[in-house]
Amino acid sequence: MANIERFGSIFLLFLTIILSISSISCEQTFLTNQAALFVFGDSVFDVGNNNYINTFRAAQANVWPYGQTTFKFPTGRNSDGRLIPDFIAEYAWLPLIPPYLQPGNSISQFTYGVNFASAGAGALVETYKPQNVIPLGSQLNNFKNVEKMFKEKLGEAETKRIISRAVYLIQIGPNDYFYPFSVNISYFQSNSKDRFVDYVIGNTTTVIEKIYKIGGRKFGIMNMGRLDCVPGLLTLDPTRIGSCFEPITELIKLHNIRIPNVLRDIQRRFPEFKYSLFDSYSAGTEAMENPTKYGFKEVKKACCGSGPFRGSSTCGYRAGTSREFELCENVSDYMFFDGSHTSEKANQQTAELMWDGPSDLVGPFTLKTLSTPKLHAQCVKAFEK
């Protein structure tokens, strides 16, 4: 009996050691094959790059109450807390991805990814050009600078490994479609909407193809969301106060019809190209039409701002000035934090859908599929716990 007990104890000890070694091996395999995250886009993704450029006030979020929920101080994110890339990084077991322009960044940080996004940016160079934001083409140049740094510090082979396994997250276009109206409300009465949408998509896909030729293979892309229904646009048409701005709705729908076909064409021409296209428009519409299902009490009025629907871009202006703002009591009740940007709660819901949502909203791959390295089945079960 004593021998049996001794054998049982030895067996359990042996099994514990094997499982511990297996767990360590799984972790090492995961970390070795982890996909970096490189982020391109506008204010929906900008985690602080505009803090370090001389741009207009509305394109910066480095004042309170921005950042109040999670960080407890303004970080440059256009929300009360985290943005979509922050959550995606968390789901991919990555640290917060730093803004490219942040002083003190190191190569070791950049191997996990870099955020190049700039609030106010567009696919077109002309979009908010006088305001000195960083357009998509310039963001690509910044990525090339990082690639050069990798080659100098890490060598060609390691650079190729990082770039080929990385996921490239892109959100661009809303500023391109809004900017013409901010300059001339009747711009599209004399300019072709079809041609304009083709320009925006063309510039975006040019950048995607250039990243592919550098070595990138996996891309996460959002279509145009409900830009037409953000609080700041509900008063743009004085004859339809409180309604979505239809001239932009038309541009959004044109864009969303064309972008899937364009991505499929890229896939035909570049066999190793893999992508995840998220239907931001349908997801946003669903939340606006069924707010209580998603935990919201208010989907038209912003938490922070002034004027009708708190849609005026005054969030963060000092009290006592001519542009004093109002701030809601409970931001978790609101879909929008300011007149153009969603709350952290809404950002998290979007990120969850992009990461592993249903096939009617995201495809042909999810970000989870693109980001997770191929592991042994036992390792997959360990990490899912």
Pick the closest to residue 133 from 152, 150, 120 (CA basis). 120
Measured distance CA(338)–CA(314) in Å, rounded: 9
Measured distance CA(325)–CA(320) in Å, rounded: 9
DSSP summary character for residue 306: B
The sign of the CA dihedral 224, 291, 79, 108 is negative
| Whether residue 338 lies in the annotated active site | yes
* C-alpha pair distances (Å), 98 with each of 45, 101, 110, 171, 199: 11, 9, 8, 17, 30
Our measurement of the distance from residue 171's CA atom to the centroid of its chain's CA atoms, rounded to an integer in Å, reads 6
Which residue out of 43, 79, 306, 340 is catalytically annotated? 43
Structure tokens at 162: 């990082």
| Whether residue 228 lies in the annotated active site | no
Biggest alpha carbon distance in the chain?
A: 94
* C-alpha pair distances (Å), 323 with each of 234, 236, 313, 318, 319: 19, 19, 9, 8, 8
Read off φ and ψ for residue 375, nearest 5 degrees: -120, 160
Q: Who contacts 50 (Cβ-Cβ below 8 Å, separation ≥6)?
A: 59, 60, 61, 62, 76, 118, 119, 120, 133, 134
| Whether residue 79 lies in the annotated active site | no
Residue 99, strand partner residues:
115
Measured distance CA(264)–CA(287) in Å, rounded: 28
CB 124 within 8 A of CB 199: yes
Question: Pairing between strand 304-305 and 274-278?
Answer: unpaired
Measured distance CA(212)–CA(219) in Å, rounded: 9
Which residue out of 42, 338, 340, 343 is catalytically annotated? 338
Half-sphere exposure of residue 213, counting CA atoms within 13 Å on the CB side? 9
Which residue out of 255, 341, 343, 371 is catalytically annotated? 341
- Catalytically active residues are 43, 338, 341
